[in-house]
């Protein structure tokens, strides 16, 4: 990993992980720097949280879409993503199942792993936006509720050949 990426990881990922651990109970930071950022303990259907920080001050308010690097899709469907603003007072949340290969763009990003990286895009209307982060707005219950609704919508709209099933009795998603 390049020196600049390590510096950016320490500057942005560490506070994002800390904010997540502060508000979402039953979580631990993943020691594998190449894996998902935060792991949920004792949670049957939601297992992972990947965090990131947007460094520009305008955050998502000025945009109609959110972009996510293609490389972030390597995590399983039991993953939610939390993207924080630069001072960790706002965030938006989306689920792995929302990353649709039909909605991709190419972009040149200064600190990308590669010079050119494909990106997914999501419309703002399909994500959970939290304008003021506190114990009541960002917690495990809020995330579980959003995840369960999103995964159910995904399963209802997926093709019959999709092998992922939602077990309502156990609140679990499996493939």
pLDDT digits (tens, 9 = 90+) for 70-122: 878 889 999 999 999 889 999 989 999 998 888 877 766 555 555 456 778 78
pLDDT tier, 150 (very low <50, low <70, confident <90, very high otherwise): very high
CB 70 within 8 A of CB 118: yes
Print the domain residue range for 90.
3-174
For residue 148, report the phi and psi dihedrals to the nearest 5 degrees.
-60, -45
For the chain, what is the domain count?
A: 1
What per-residue confidence (pLDDT) applies to 103? 81
CA distance 61 to 41: 33
- The pLDDT tens digits for 6-39 are 666 666 788 999 999 999 999 999 998 788 999 9
**Residue 166 near residue 155 (C-beta atoms within 8 A):** yes
Please return the burial class of 1, using the count of CB atoms within 10 Å of its CB with bins 0-12, 13-18 and 19+: exposed
pLDDT at 59 over 80: no
């Amino acid at each position: 990993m390049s020196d600049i990426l390590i510096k950016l990881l320490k500057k942005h990922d560490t506070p994002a992980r800390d904010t997540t651990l502060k508000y979402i109970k039953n979580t631990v930071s993943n020691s594998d720097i190449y894996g998902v950022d935060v792991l949920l303990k004792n949670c049957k259907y939601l297992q992972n949280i990947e965090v990131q920080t947007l460094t520009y001050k305008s955050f998502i308010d000025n945009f109609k879409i959110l972009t996510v690097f293609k490389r972030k899709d390597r995590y399983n469907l039991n993953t939610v993503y939390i993207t924080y603003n630069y001072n960790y007072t706002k965030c938006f949340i989306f689920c792995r199942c929302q990353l649709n290969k039909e909605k991709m763009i190419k972009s040149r990003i200064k600190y990308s792993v590669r010079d050119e990286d494909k990106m997914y895009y999501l419309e703002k209307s399909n994500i959970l936006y939290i304008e003021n982060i506190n114990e009541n707005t960002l917690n495990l219950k809020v995330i579980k509720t959003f995840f369960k609704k999103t995964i159910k919508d995904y399963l209802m709209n997926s093709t019959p050949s999709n092998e992922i099933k939602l077990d309502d009795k156990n609140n679990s998603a499996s493939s």
